[in-house]
Chain A
Amino acid sequence: MTLDHERILELLAGYAVRSLSGEDAAEADRLLSEHVPSCASCRESLADFQALSGELALAPPSRMPPDLLLPRLHRELEQRVVARRPRLFLVAAAAGVVAVLGMGALSVGLGIRASNGQAKTALFADALRTANRSDATKVPLISSTGSRGMTEVSAPGLEHVYLVGEAVPPPAPGMVYRVWFHSTEGWKWAGDFLPDPGITVLELAIPTRVDEIRITEEPEGARGNGPADTERWSATFLAA
């Protein structure tokens, strides 16, 4: 094994225990998308480290969670049943007012409201086509406030995802909804949006290795390095 591979394994070990930050995290992301898929040895090591990370979870003693947790989960499981009708929801919504925010690539055009009605309609049609694909994945975002839901729509081969919401309530005056992505590099701002009545469709170019999307309600303009403690919706994904 070369010295370079030893360095790679150091990064993969750190990645598996979630202790990378800054340039190391970015380098690990690059390795995971460029080197590891084509290197059997690294794939095997990563799988071993990730399994080990799951085993280490057993070291602390078990503790009973509060009795209220399971009933709370049961209540929220019901919401999933409602949210798991994206196709019907999308088709039904097509006749309504279409309000679209196109966010494009992460680095440009963020927060620019699409003013062209045709562009909005085209984007909505794209989202609808994707949602109706047999291989599409539709993940309802969990609402922290009980407000109307948003659904993430994606499909294999697409480098972007859609977030689709119906009758999304407006944020408080002076506030915007702020979209954040989380990866091993930490939080990255994706853009701001204000919903219109009817349907909101966001098209997001999603970076690799994103493990969480979070939408917060924050003051317009003022923005920190990570999401404020005002979560409205979120979806979590486990990196493979």
Chain B
Amino acid sequence: MRDEERLDLELHRRLQEGDREAFDELYRRYSGAAFGLAYRITKQEALAQEVVHDAFLAAWRAPEAFDPARGTFRTFFLSLVHHRAVDTVRREERLRKRTERVANLEPERGEDVAEDVVESTYLVQRRKEVREALETLPPEQRKVLEMAYFGGYTQTRIAEELGIPVGTVKTRTLAAMRKLRRALSREDEAG
């Protein structure tokens, strides 16, 4: 287990005891990543703020939802942020005219600059590895995965937008996930 993961486990243990300093430390460690993710998905600061707020509050309110036997706190928590962000996008979709950027899910100009966010060396390195792993995907697989994950689209909607069968969306999603898993596992072993 990496030092980062060990520290997260300790912070989580303290969170279960209602330790606010542990909460603040987890906020310091993951609020930047959480807000970056939520903003990418919702494309609105206000919505992203609500998503991150709800996720941290959920972690504080029910820390027992994280089971260390099932993975790391970081992937657990950021999955929670992702799920809430996707749900928020789908809820808001009927309430607002959402900017359609199906053809361009790349970061906006200037979005990649985040000098004010202080992250651990490991997180910075892992971010690089994840991006590089995404780059290795065939374009058609990457497109489907990004529309689902960062666009919040259902597979049915992706099929409609791309004009391909839903079955193709499913096979491309699975193929992309398998390839990413292999790529990141190799990085884990190398690290």
Contacts and interface: CB of A to CB of B under 8 A. Distances in A.
A53 interface: yes
A95 interface: no
Interface stretch (A31-39, A72-80, A157-165): A72-80
Interface in A75-133: 76-77, 80-81, 84
Contacts of A240: 67, 70
Interface residues of A, number: 58
A13 interface: yes
A18 B35 contact: no
A17 B150 CA distance: 9
A212 B51 CA distance: 14
A57 interface: yes
Contact of A52 (B39, B64, B180): B180
Contacts of A194: none
A142 interface: yes
Chain B interface bracket (under 10, 10 to 19, 20 to 34, 35 or more) = 35 or more
Among B49, B127, B155, which residue has the most Cβ atoms of chain A within 10 A? B155
Contact of B83 (A21, A51, A52, A211): A211
A236 B130 contact: no
B152 to A, nearest CB: 8
B12 to A, nearest CB: 13
B136 interface: no
Nearest to A65: B35
A3 interface: no
Nearest to B32: A62
Interface stretch (A42-50, A171-179, A195-203): A42-50
A54 B79 contact: yes
Contact of B149 (A17, A76, A137, A139): A17
A64 interface: yes
A18 B82 contact: yes
Contact of B173 (A19, A51, A211): A19
Given A52-B177, A54-B71, A63-B39, A139 B62 contact: yes
A66 B27 CA distance: 13
A69 interface: yes
A137 B64 contact: yes
19 contacts: A10-B174, A18-B86, A21-B156, A47-B70, A53-B75, A53-B79, A53-B149, A54-B72, A54-B82, A56-B134, A57-B37, A58-B33, A62-B32, A63-B48, A63-B114, A65-B31, A76-B57, A236-B80, A237-B62
